Structure 1
Amino acid sequence: MTGGRSRLPLPPVLMYHSISPSAEPDPHALRVHPARLDRHLGLLRRLGLRGVPLTELVRAAERGAAAGLVGLTFDDGYTDFLDHAVPVLRRHGMAGTVYAVAGLLGGTNDWDTGPRFRIMDAGQLRAVAAAGQEVGSHTLTHARLAGADPAVLAAEVGESRRVLEDVLQAEVPGFCYPYGSYDDAAADAVRAAGYDNACVTGDYEPGDRVTLPRCYVSPRDTRAHLVARLVRHSVRLRRAVARDAARPAAPVAGAGR
């Protein structure tokens, strides 16, 4: 993994979960209708923006070439991503990152209460990758990582990457913290496992390469809501960068001797 622990300012990164036309109860507000996703992506195009996977966005930002890009992420790796999100993304000439729960491939979201969502199996993940979408890790079991002991972190963070790389026979550069739950030890585990980048939810601190903030998208978000989320990201990022600049510089090791 490249990069350090300083802030990496990025354009907005949108966070979706299930993309499905189902009318079943959705108590956790995870399900966005494919037609709504289509309207969201159509709006991005009209604004002159293109949705890309998070790793592509990070690397474009490092080159100073991220203008006009927006990150698209989809948590949990549900089968409806392949069935409903991929066709919409393809129609708009866009791509995103889907974060799979590596220890539950072919299973369901048994970490959650409420409706059951099917999780993609190995073959479906390979089909997603073949369709030009990025696959990232969302741990082995969708575990909360803040406060986890080192053995749990090593398995949930490191082993999940190995499982997915074995499935895909390709590098898995991205990680996503379930529930946005992380602490310094979890972030260090992500670095140690060799990930290129990792994302949280709406937390803008510290905002480095393995704690990149995202904007949650609600099932009821209209195009106006989406514009507001894009603007809010710019405001929050600008304030975070200003706070960074106002902090005293860290002392240089050995200075004053």
Structure 2
Amino acid sequence: MVADVSAAPPKAEPDPRSSARRRAKRGPAVWVAMYHSVSDCPEDPYNVTVTPARLDRQLAWMSSRGLRGVSMRELLAARARGTERGLVGLTFDDGYADFAGDALPVLCRWGFTATVFVLPGRIGGENAWEPLGPRKPLLDVAGIRRAVAAGMEIASHGLTHLDLTKTTDAMLHTEVNDSRHLLAGITGSDIEGFCYPYGYLDERVAAAVRRAGYRYACGITPGPDGCGDFALPRIHVGQVDNAARLELKRRLARLFGRSVEAV
């Protein structure tokens, strides 16, 4: 016998689109800016340097639009509470020494915080992984502790800036785990975040970062399906990014999958 279901349709399965619509009601997803070096060095073949004056204007633009720059730790904590509206994640890759000398005063002037992704295997060294361009010094222990004292988050960029997708399992473990423990010893606190060198990751690398005890990891693109907070996307911000370009990047962030979605 076939049951008559014409009068009362069966209970529908949850529509995954409904949860997306509920998230959308909370407003636009937040975005994360990816910086590197902050200095007046004119030689910049990799487009990774902004001057302190340009950074100041970029942060002024954020503030004028009711936005506040925060570390990834603050951003994700706010997202968990549902209070992330109006926040912008600020990250600085590679741990250049000029963060303490040039970026930190600008951030403090605006009352912003940021996450600095440091290479503990190169502390006090230089950017030897870049074959072109000037040699730039990296943060030493004193510089790292100065950033922490100012309210910045210190997180790991691996030990030595390797493409982790091309390493052996043993080397991957060393780069991911040892860097976390070394930075914890310097800062005196847990290291929650990781950043993939060059933005390169795959499922193996993301899984290693998760196993190491990190709570999130930043890339550039969203990464493989299922990575979630272990492949948080970011938008590169450089010297040419004036107010008009920043506004465009903000508007296009969600369209191109470069924003951190609400939970």
Alpha-carbon RMSD across the aligned residues, in angstroms, is: 2.1
2:90 corresponds in structure 1 to 72
Structure 2 residue 123 is matched with structure 1 residue 105? yes
Paired with 2:224 and 2:62, the residues of 1 have a C-alpha distance of 26
Change in CA separation of 1:94 and 1:150 when aligned onto 2, cut-off 3 Å: same
* 1:53 correspondence with 2:71: yes
Tell me how far 1:10 sits from its aligned partner.
Answer: 4.9
SS in 1 for 2:241: coil
2:214 aligned with 1:226, yes or no? no
Match of 2:50 in 1: 32
Q: Do residues 146 (structure 1) and 182 (structure 2) align? A: no
**Contact 1:109/1:118, CA 8 A, preserved across alignment:** yes
Give the aligned partner of residue 84 of structure 1.
102
Letter in 1 for 2:232: L
Alignment size in residue pairs: 234
**Which structure 1 residue ranges, 5 or more long, are not aligned?**
1-6, 242-257
Q: Aligned residues: percent identity?
A: 42
Cα separation, partners in 2 of 1:234 and 1:169, compared to 1, 3 Å: same
SS at match of 1:117: coil
Match of 2:152 in 1: 133
Q: Greater shift after overlay, 147-156 or 78-87?
A: 147-156
**Deviating more after overlay: 202-211 vs 85-94:** 202-211
Name the structure 1 match of 2:255.
Answer: 235
Aligned to 1:168: 187
**Equivalent residue number for residue 181 of structure 1:** 200
2:145 maps to 1:155: no
The letter for the 2-side match of 1:73 is: T
SS at match of 2:79: helix
Q: Gapped runs of 5+ residues in structure 2?
A: 1-19
CA distance in 2, matches of 1:31, 1:119: 14
CA apart distance, 1:203: 3.7
The counterpart of 1:42, out of the listed 60, 63, 68, is: 60
Q: Within 2, Cα distance between the matches of 1:26 and 1:101?
A: 21
Question: Which residue of structure 2 lines up, in the alignment, with residue 212 of structure 1?
Answer: 232
Q: CA deviation at 1:62?
A: 1.5
CA contact (8 A) 2:234 2:258 kept: no
> Is residue 96 from structure 1 mapped to residue 114 from structure 2 by the alignment?
yes
Q: Is the 8 A contact 2:32 2:88 kept in 1?
A: yes
Q: Provide the rounded CA distance (Å) in 1 between the counterparts of 2:137 and 2:258.
A: 39
Residues of 1 paired with 2:67 and 2:187: CA distance? 29
Query: In the TM superposition, what whole-angstrom CA distance separates every residue of 1:193-232 from its partner, at most 9, and x where no partner exists?
Result: 1001110013465461110000011221111111111111
Q: 1:82 to 1:238 in 2, by over 3 A?
A: closer
Find the structure with the greater CA-based Rg.
2
